[in-house]
Structure 1
Amino acid sequence: MSLCGGVCISEKADHNMDDTCSEKETIVRLRDAGTDNIATDKNRNGDVGVGKDRMKTFVKHLTMASAVPPLTTHILDTATGVPAANVPMVLSRQKSDGQFDELERGSTNNDGRGGFLKGGNWQPGVYKLYFNTDAYFKQQNTTGFYPYVEVVFRIVDPNQHYHVPLLLAPYGYSTYRGS
């Protein structure tokens, strides 16, 4: 059953794991740039109601795609292979004199993701994302070579979504325009 733009819910038939336990799986697929991200909710002993409520909540979050901020980021710690959580960030826009004005502060969530400008104020210009990598490395009980990373980029079409990922390690980093 299709709910909206690429989000589908389907239920698999019950199957017996053994004589005393059955499992019902509800699978939600989000088709995202050719990738299937799958969330599975498993309920044992026929407790279907709880799982369906959780899945409805999950689907509600997925269907809020129009609420995605125009600028997002995702930081992956390539040394550990996990998302970089709780990294303080600052978004600034360049003025005509070349100086930058701070627009917004935030930090990455537990999945290493963050977003900016949810309330608008998105216009063509040069922007800077400041990542406080020193704070992150201190959380990890390590020392990084780069105490911070600044990524400066140009917005030409404010009607597009811009994604600025950061691949981070104690002695290096890389960035690119994502999708």
Structure 2
Amino acid sequence: MNTLSSHVLDTTSGKPVEGMALTLTCPDGQIHTGITDADGRFKQWPQSSFEAGTYHLRFHCREYLTNTHGKSFYPHIDIAFELEENGGHYHVPLLISPFGFSSYRGS
């Protein structure tokens, strides 16, 4: 069984990003949306388990970065990743600033 969560942190302010919209596209083409909570986290996807395959997670960051820092080089950030059969919990964090980002498989 696979589960999925995400977390967005602003590396300029050192704070979590509340209210950022997320769009998840599943291997079968289903699309799910969500919004980060006050701690910058999101894990309430409509499906409780995710099959193996390639997923695309879009972070809609322009509005947040423009409102918070006055500029955003990125209108959105797309992260493609693969889930394995019975891979367990997958956590996809995003560290952002107006002109840079990074991500990794978290725990």
TM-score w.r.t. the length of structure 1 is: 0.55
Name the aligned partner's letter for residue 172 of structure 1. G
Could you say which residue in structure 1 is the equivalent of 2:14? 81
> Relative to structure 2, which stretch is displaced further, 72-81 or 137-146?
137-146
Larger helix percent: 1
| Paired residues of 2:3 and 2:49 also in contact (CA < 8 A) | no
Could you say which residue in structure 2 is the equivalent of 1:42? none
Could you say which residue in structure 2 is the equivalent of 1:107? 35
Structure 2 unaligned residues grouped into runs of 5+: none
Could you say which residue in structure 1 is the equivalent of 2:68? 140
Larger radius of gyration: 1
Large movers: runs of 4+ above 3 Å: 116-119
Q: Note the C-alpha offset of 1:103.
A: 2.6
Q: What is the DSSP-based 3-state SS (H/G/I as helix, E as strand, rest coil) of the residue aligned with 1:164? A: strand
Q: Note the C-alpha offset of 1:120.
A: 2.9
State the superposition RMSD in angstroms.
1.8
| Paired residues of 1:123 and 1:155 also in contact (CA < 8 A) | yes
| Paired residues of 2:91 and 2:106 also in contact (CA < 8 A) | yes
- Matches of 2:106 and 2:79, distance apart in 1: 13
Paired residues, number = 106
Q: Note the C-alpha offset of 1:116.
A: 4.4
Structure 1 unaligned residues grouped into runs of 5+: 1-68, 96-100
Residues 116/91 of structure 1: CA separation in 2 closer, same or farther (3 Å cut): farther
| Paired residues of 1:91 and 1:116 also in contact (CA < 8 A) | no
| Paired residues of 1:87 and 1:132 also in contact (CA < 8 A) | yes
1:178 aligns with 2:106: yes
TM-score w.r.t. the length of structure 2 is: 0.88
- For residue 24 of structure 2, the aligned residue among 77, 91, 99 is 91
Name the aligned partner's letter for residue 140 of structure 1. T
